[in-house]
């Protein structure tokens, strides 16, 4: 029997969305500590949003090239289970953070073509998860959450030394096809379950999780 696909709902900004993601059966909940994102939350707000999340659901903090001061503030105030790095963090930086904070790390890698999968290999031995997202446009002011997709078939049949998630342009209508084409066993969505930038829609969250987990 196929293993159930795991689902991460990222960019949560309000309690209703957190409750909707929990009720729908999400496995990971994410908050964004990146000021340029429409989904950015403060450390204090993140602490409020995640404080009552059940222990079996993993809480993820998304960062873009954070300094230690921000990581310290988050670690001292927010109940997290994983860091997610979504910028140009080097493999050395990822490894150093894992050691210093004792926190598992998801490393996002932007994918446009096969060469980008080679870049992913440099992180695969040192991070706990890889996250394959569509590479942001050259003029984008943020590395993810741009509702763009890539050729999912590039991932089909590839083996990695760590688990991985698929992201980028996913929504309730295409996630089943994305899983089929890529072979993903975990998916990550943010803008694809929103009614407006940064505004999560409970019905879209429920539809997305149901569609992913039916695979």
Residues annotated catalytic, as ranges:
10, 133
Q: With beta carbons less than 8 A apart as the criterion, state whether 159 and 2 touch.
A: no
Give the contacts of 56 (CB within 8 A, at least 6 positions apart): none
End-to-end Cα separation, the chain, in angstroms? 11
b/e code 182-197 from CB counts within 10 Å (16+ = b): bebbbbbbbbbbbeee
CB neighbours of residue 96 within 10 Å: 14
- How buried is 11 (Cβ within 10 angstroms: 0-12 exposed, 13-18 middle, 19+ buried)? buried
**At CA 166, angle to CA 161 and CA 172, rounded to 5?**
155
């Amino acid at each position: 029997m196929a293993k159930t696909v795991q689902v991460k709902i990222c960019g949560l900004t309000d309690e209703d969305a957190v409750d909707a993601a929990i009720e729908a059966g999400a496995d990971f909940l994410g908050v964004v500590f990146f000021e340029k994102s429409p989904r950015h939350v403060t450390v204090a707000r993140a602490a409020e949003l995640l404080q009552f999340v059940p222990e079996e659901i993993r809480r993820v903090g998304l960062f873009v090239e954070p300094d230690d001061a921000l990581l310290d503030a988050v670690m001292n105030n927010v109940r997290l289970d994983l860091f997610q790095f979504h910028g140009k963090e080097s493999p050395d930086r990822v490894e150093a953070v894992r050691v210093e904070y004792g926190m598992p790390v998801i490393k996002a890698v932007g994918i446009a073509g096969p060469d980008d999968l080679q870049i992913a290999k440099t992180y695969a031995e040192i991070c706990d998860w890889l996250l394959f997202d569509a590479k942001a446009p050259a003029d984008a002011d943020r590395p993810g959450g741009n509702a763009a997709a890539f050729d999912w078939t590039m991932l089909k049949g590839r083996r990695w030394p760590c688990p991985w998630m698929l992201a980028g342009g996913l929504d309730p209508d295409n996630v089943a096809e994305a899983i089929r084409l890529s072979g993903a066993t975990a998916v990550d969505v943010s803008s694809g379950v929103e009614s407006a930038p940064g505004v999560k829609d409970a019905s879209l969250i429920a539809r997305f999780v149901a569609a992913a987990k039916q695979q």
